[in-house]
Structure 1
Amino acid sequence: MFDLKKNNTTPGTELTAGLTTFFTMAYIIVVNPLILSDAGVPFQQGFTATIIATIIGTLFMAVAANYPIAVAPAMGTNVYFAYTVIQAHSGIGYSEAFSALFITGILFFILSLTRLRSMLIRIIPENLKYAITSGIGLFIAFIGLRLSGIIKAHPSNLVGLGNLHSPSVVLALAGLAITLILITLNVPGAIFIGIVLTGIIAMFTGQLSFNKGFVSLPSLPEGLVAYNPVHAISDVIQFSLYPAIFSIILVTIFDTTGTVLGVAKQAGLMQGDKLPRARRTLVADSVGTLFGAIFGTTPTSAYIESASGVAAGGRTGLTSVFVALFFAIAAFFGPMISAISGIAAITSPALVIVGALMLSNVRHIVWDDFDEAFPAFIVILTMPLTSSIATGIAFGFISYPLMKMAKGKWKAVHPLVYIFAVLFVIQLVFFPH
């Protein structure tokens, strides 16, 4: 099934690659439920749903596309879900918000079966794609610093430096330093190992205890969160969640496609500029997104951390099978992971570092042309300052065609971008976050 000989690999190599990828991205089983809990989702629900969505999406990638690429809930859309869709919409709970994610999953799956998804990727200006990822990274890093207490609210300057004598702040800074050193030394799974080592320090300093033990059977306290399309559509209409659906689809399309192509190039899977079985590859994250919404987690995406497994020799879907297996084993360690995630100082360094990695996309932005640079700049700036990914995207899509028209380059902008601009104006005026 996986053509190991054809791809010059062995089961042992694929096992090592799968283990490497797992440890590199395992932080998501701690961080994602933590972010979802801020939206009111019970930790155990988010934890188990995260693992289910990861297993389903990754196995689909393995069997249908035969690629060593793991799929899991994406950093960025989980933040958008918790801090924009839920907290910025009064009167809705996480169950109503998951209705929007369920409809998003259905639409995303349909898009992935057509050429429309690849067309959308082509028409969106490159600078805006890089700016969206970078802005999300800055927003995630800001959240990590705030949760840890390294920065805090300030009465006149909005934000300021936190109390550096606080035990939790000291722990967070120590965890950040440890993880940065591990990353600098190119240690595989540096972020996950950093969380573990910070947790050990927290235990010795009395900040962490495991009162509920270490292992238990996986459970879903809330059962299936969203599964009835009629009810989901009703929630979307009642609470005007159209902008959320649009923004999540937009962000996930860019995130997944860029990650898949990046990992495929590193693994030597590309044939010229084309990726064989590309449509099956793009369907994998949409399948994970659909099932994730049903069980209670945010949209999935291909993970750039898969590149670590490729570097370890992974070349086929068997690597992804092993990744899914390790996530299934992790499902039995819910109490331990819940205790760790309950200490923000342990997990916040991971958010800061993931944010820094995402912000690296700014190097691809064309800064020399102001009509290209400013829309990208305003996206990156407004996401953390408004605590809204959708608002940042909106400002970018409105300013880009406006500046191009002013410069007489209106023909260089695809007609759909103008349509997006009008839609975003309507969103900001009538559906503000």
Structure 2
Amino acid sequence: MFKLQENNTNVKTELIAGFTTFMTMVYIIVVNPIILKDAGVPFEQVFTATVIATVIGTLWMALAANYPIAIAPGMGLNAYFAYSVVGSHGGITYQTAFSAVFVAGIIFIILSLTKFRKVLIEAIPDNIKHGITAGIGLFIAFIGLRQSNLIVSHPENLVQLGDLHSPVVLLTLLGLTVTLVLMALRVNGAFFFGMIVTGIVALLTGQLSFDKGFIEIPKLPEGLIIANPITAFTDVFQHSLYAVVFSFLLVTIFDTTGTMIGVAEQAGLMKGNKFPRARQALLSDSIGSTLGSMFGTTPTTAFLESTSGVAAGGRTGLTTLTVSILFIIAAFFGPLVSAVSGLSAITAPALIIVGSLMIGAVAKIKWGEIDEAFPAFIIILSMPLTSSIATGIALGFISYPILKLATGNWRQIHPILYVFGILFLIQLVFLPH
């Protein structure tokens, strides 16, 4: 079913890769509820909805597309939902805001069923794809550095080196060293074993504890937030939430598409300029977004942290099937998951190392041609600095057509790039992002 031999992998490798991906992304079932709680959504509701959306999207990716790319509610859009949408536009409630997410999800499914997103992937120039891969690499490494306090905020320089005497920093450096040494020795499952060693040391040094117990039954105190699809569309029209729907749709399309390209390239799954089984893969996040909104969570996206599983050897849907099963189990171990995912030193080393692996894509960029090099460069630079994959892609899509027009090479690119260059310019200048 998963064609393990054809993809040069085996069951053990895929299971370890799935566990690695799970460990690096499981924080979302704690962080997402914390953010949406500020919008008034009950913590237990979002916790369970996050698990449901993740399992649905990731299972679809595993069984229909056979890719090691996990799906879960994306960071950034949850903050946009909680702090920019809810309470604005005439004081709308979170229930009405979820209607906008649902409508965006339905449109997303329709687009994914057509050739639109597949054409979009194939229309993106190679140098832009390499820039996206490298930019995601820097972004994910920066996340790891920030989460572990190896890099901290600075009032003038924005960031600076953290306190090297801090227990969390020391634990991160230990995990980083152990994992790198195991990788250098070509030990299978280096990420997994690095996390285990770090977790044991954290437990022995008192940095990891399980004061709140281990097991808790998942709850949906609000039930189905969107039980009637017609009401959802009515809410959008009644409150004129067109810009909100557009923002959710545009950001999710390119966030997911960019991440999928980056992960697929890293795993060697792109066939030339083609993305095999693109429709099946692209349906996973649109279905996850739509159904997730009905239970009470924001749009899903292909998760950056999937790169850690790919780096651990994951190449097929067996990796993401493992992730799905672990998330189902995690739903019943909320306190345990919260404790482990709350200690960034356990997962940060994997993110930092994955970033170093993905940055290698810069070697494939045509640096001698400014109309090809600069759009890739601005993508790479802006993703970590703006903490947004979609913003990085937007700047690349805006600058690429401009430079091609200026150099007289406008026929070289697909017309769809001009359309999205204009749309991204409108979104960045006039809409929330």
Task: Confirm or deny a common fold (TM above 0.5).
Answer: yes
Higher mean C-alpha deviation, range 322-331 or range 382-391: 322-331
After the TM superposition, which residues 116-131 of structure 1 pair with which residues of structure 2 at under 5 Å, given as runs? 116-131=116-131
Higher mean C-alpha deviation, range 100-109 or range 222-231: 222-231
Given candidates 207, 228, 233, the residue that maps to 2:236 is 233
Match of 1:72 in 2: 70
Matched, 1:22 2:18: yes
Residue 375 of structure 1: how far off its partner (Å): 0.9
Cα distance in structure 2, aligned partners of 1:171 and 1:431: 41
Match of 1:115 in 2: 115
SS state at 1:209 partner:
coil
SS state at 2:145 partner:
helix
Q: Which runs of 5+ in 2 are unaligned?
A: none
Paired letter, 1:169 = V
Higher mean C-alpha deviation, range 352-361 or range 79-88: 79-88
After the TM superposition, which residues 61-210 of structure 1 pair with which residues of structure 2 at under 5 Å, given as runs? 61=61, 63-64=63-64, 67=66, 69-73=67-71, 78-82=74-78, 91=87, 99-210=99-210
Match of 1:214 in 2: 214
Q: How many residues align?
A: 414
Residue 364 of structure 1: how far off its partner (Å): 3.0
Match of 1:256 in 2: 260
Contact 1:14 1:318 in 2 (8 A): no
Paired letter, 1:208 = L
Paired letter, 1:301 = A
Paired letter, 1:72 = A
SS state at 1:421 partner:
helix
Cα distance in structure 2, aligned partners of 1:250 and 1:240: 16
Contact 2:86 2:97 in 1 (8 A): no
Cα distance in structure 2, aligned partners of 1:356 and 1:37: 30
Residue 407 of structure 1: how far off its partner (Å): 0.8
Cα distance in structure 1, aligned partners of 2:74 and 2:314: 26
SS state at 1:240 partner:
helix
SS state at 1:210 partner:
coil
Paired letter, 1:299 = T
State the TM-score, normalizing by the size of structure 1: 0.78
Residue 337 of structure 1: how far off its partner (Å): 1.2
Contact 1:50 1:72 in 2 (8 A): no
Paired letter, 2:302 = S
- RMSD of equivalent CA atoms: 3.8
Cα distance in structure 1, aligned partners of 2:99 and 2:184: 41
Cα distance in structure 2, aligned partners of 1:387 and 1:84: 13
Paired letter, 1:364 = K
Cα distance in structure 1, aligned partners of 2:254 and 2:161: 34
Cα distance in structure 2, aligned partners of 1:97 and 1:354: 35
Judged with a 3 Å threshold, the aligned counterparts in structure 2 of structure 1 residues 188 and 241 are, in CA distance, closer, same or farther, namely farther
Cα distance in structure 1, aligned partners of 2:333 and 2:380: 37
Higher mean C-alpha deviation, range 290-299 or range 379-388: 290-299
Match of 1:340 in 2: 340
Higher mean C-alpha deviation, range 24-33 or range 234-243: 234-243
Paired letter, 1:33 = I
Instruction: Provide Cα deviations, 1:129-176, integer angstroms capped at 9, x if missing partner.
Output: 332333233223223322322112223222111111222222222222
Match of 1:381 in 2: 381
State the TM-score, normalizing by the size of structure 2: 0.78
Paired letter, 1:255 = T
Match of 1:425 in 2: 425
Contact 2:141 2:356 in 1 (8 A): yes
Contact 1:137 1:359 in 2 (8 A): yes
Residue 117 of structure 1: how far off its partner (Å): 1.7
SS state at 2:208 partner:
coil
Judged with a 3 Å threshold, the aligned counterparts in structure 2 of structure 1 residues 35 and 363 are, in CA distance, closer, same or farther, namely farther
Q: Which runs of 5+ in 1 are unaligned?
A: none
Match of 2:400 in 1: 400
Of all paired residues, the percent bearing the same amino acid is 49
Contact 2:133 2:358 in 1 (8 A): yes
Matched, 1:246 2:247: no
Matched, 1:36 2:32: yes
